[in-house]
Chain A
Amino acid sequence: MSVGIESINAYVGQTSLDIRTLFERRGLDLARFDNLMMEKKSVSLPCEDPVTNAVNAAKPIIDALSDHDRNRIELLITSTESGLDFGKSLSTYIHDYLGLSRKCRLFEVKQACYGGTASLQMAANFVMSNASPGAKALVLATDIARVAAKMTYAEPSQGAAAVAILVSDTPDIFALDFGANGYHGYEVMDTCRPDSEIETGDPDLSLLSYLDCLEASFRYYSERVEGADFQETFDYLAFHTPFGGMVKGAHRNMMRKFKRSSAELIQTDFEKRARPSLQYCCQVGNVYSATLYLALCSLIDHADVTTAKRVGLYSYGSGCSSEFFSGVMTQASQRKLASLGIGKALTNRHALTMEEYDRLLNLNAEWRFGIKDKVMDYSDISAIYDKQLAGKRMLVLKEVSNYQRKYEWS
């Protein structure tokens, strides 16, 4: 029995901001720009939230299913660090707007940027358990940035997006190496969201913890997989990508430690095995629990899959929890994913001016956590809405009424 990703799609938003422009206009030190290896980031509209992003990611893959298959989705897990309620999970809204069967478990998972992987692994275990033979699971990793990071060095890398992952025993997109998992978790206060409006912490400590966990989780993976080699076993790599420079540094770290490679060989290896997974992340920014799966989408869209290729994946979530695991993609994976047009969706985003961007931040801030009643005023964003959303049948937020969120199709 095999298990893994049957379908996957990323919703990358409707607007983007050029990062170099952001650095210049905020007066940030451009010497720090090169290390980021970022070009653009996705910015949410006020009528968007983690629910709309998740539904818009999932809808194309759900619509492509037969009624029978759609009704076999018996597990819906949303991973987010951008939750909207302390009790009611985002899964409830997502389930409703996707029109799924009520024979379904609905809940939310939280562990910073590791949440998506936690959900994927639990979904895979559900399928492999055969507790409900033939059942499928839908995992949504959906996150947005907190507005309050404005003017800090965190602002350039924070993005917003969602990735929807259908998990089943027909893994057309990515077959997991089931049981080939190394994980490493412990308590460290690196970065966190202790308040509904802020992300805070020590990014330097976070990088160090990321590096420690990459080594430790890979070592555990190697204990479980005989003959595992950081270079030979994996044709490609996809890591959680807060910014591209971090992945480059982490890869270099591992190559020196495990392969004693020269700087030249490391550079060649990075370009070949890691670069393909960075193409989308450097256009979207850090999207927290969804980032690794956006990286996987980027990899499948850009890799050479004339023969089947094994991918090594690394997930890290501050606080912290991490995992190194692997799976296989094929030419059929690439063909199937290409039909979702993620690359095209990236270029279709409206490029914001700084004035538009600052205005959006202010409008987004009005939809603070815990809001009880508010109606969406599209006149504030009419030009962008007409260009990007009108008539496109994307889910958008209409209003919040007595805390219940109400959505409509654009």
Chain B
Amino acid sequence: MNHDEVWNTLKRAILEIFPEYADREIGFDESLKALGANSVDRAEILMVTMESLGLKVPMVEFSRATNIGELVAILHRHSMKE
């Protein structure tokens, strides 16, 4: 799976919870928190993304990510393993 595929899957999950962002660019340096996602929303976005990618990664692996770019990097790294 390539980086773009992972990013697009994450973006779709974000838009599922925040459809209002459909027409806006989401930068890799932005954080889900800054986009208005609370802790429960953020966990859901990750879960939906992993479901779509067929990944099984413990949620705690994502706690160190400080922005969306880092989330994509972690997801991509795990997708390469499977």
Interface positions of A (Cβ within 8 A of B): 31-32, 35, 188, 202-205, 207-209, 211-212, 245-246, 248-249, 252-253, 256-257
Contacts and interface: CB of A to CB of B under 8 A. Distances in A.
A205 B51 contact: no
B43 to A, nearest CB: 6
A212 B57 CA distance: 9
B48 interface: yes
Contacts of B36: 31
A245 B38 CA distance: 10
B70 interface: no
Contacts of B59: 208-209, 211-212
B60 A188 contact: yes
A203 B43 CA distance: 12
A248 B48 CA distance: 16
Given A253-B47, A257-B47, A209 B42 contact: no
B40 interface: yes
How would you classify the secondary structure of chain A's contact residues: helix, strand, loop or mixed?
helix
Contacts of B48: 256
A249 B60 contact: no
Given A204-B63, A212-B58, A246 B38 contact: no
Contact of B40 (A209, A212, A248, A257): A248
A386 B70 CA distance: 57
A257 B44 CA distance: 11
A257 B51 contact: yes
Given A208-B59, A208-B62, A212-B58, A249 B44 contact: yes
Ranked nearest first, the 8 interchain pairs of A and B with the lowest CB-CB distance are A249-B40, A208-B59, A205-B63, A35-B38, A212-B58, A208-B60, A207-B39, A212-B59
Contacts of B39: 35, 203-204, 207, 246
Given A246-B39, A249-B43, 19 more contacts: A31-B36, A31-B38, A35-B38, A35-B40, A188-B60, A204-B39, A204-B42, A205-B60, A207-B40, A208-B58, A208-B60, A209-B60, A212-B58, A245-B38, A246-B40, A248-B40, A249-B40, A253-B44, A257-B47
Contacts of B44: 249, 252-253
A265 B36 CA distance: 25
Contacts of B43: 207-208, 211, 249, 253
Nearest to A320: B60
Nearest to A216: B58
A212 B51 contact: no
A304 to B, nearest CB: 28
A252 B44 CA distance: 8
Given A207-B39, A208-B43, A256 B60 contact: no
Given A207-B39, A212-B58, A202 B51 contact: no
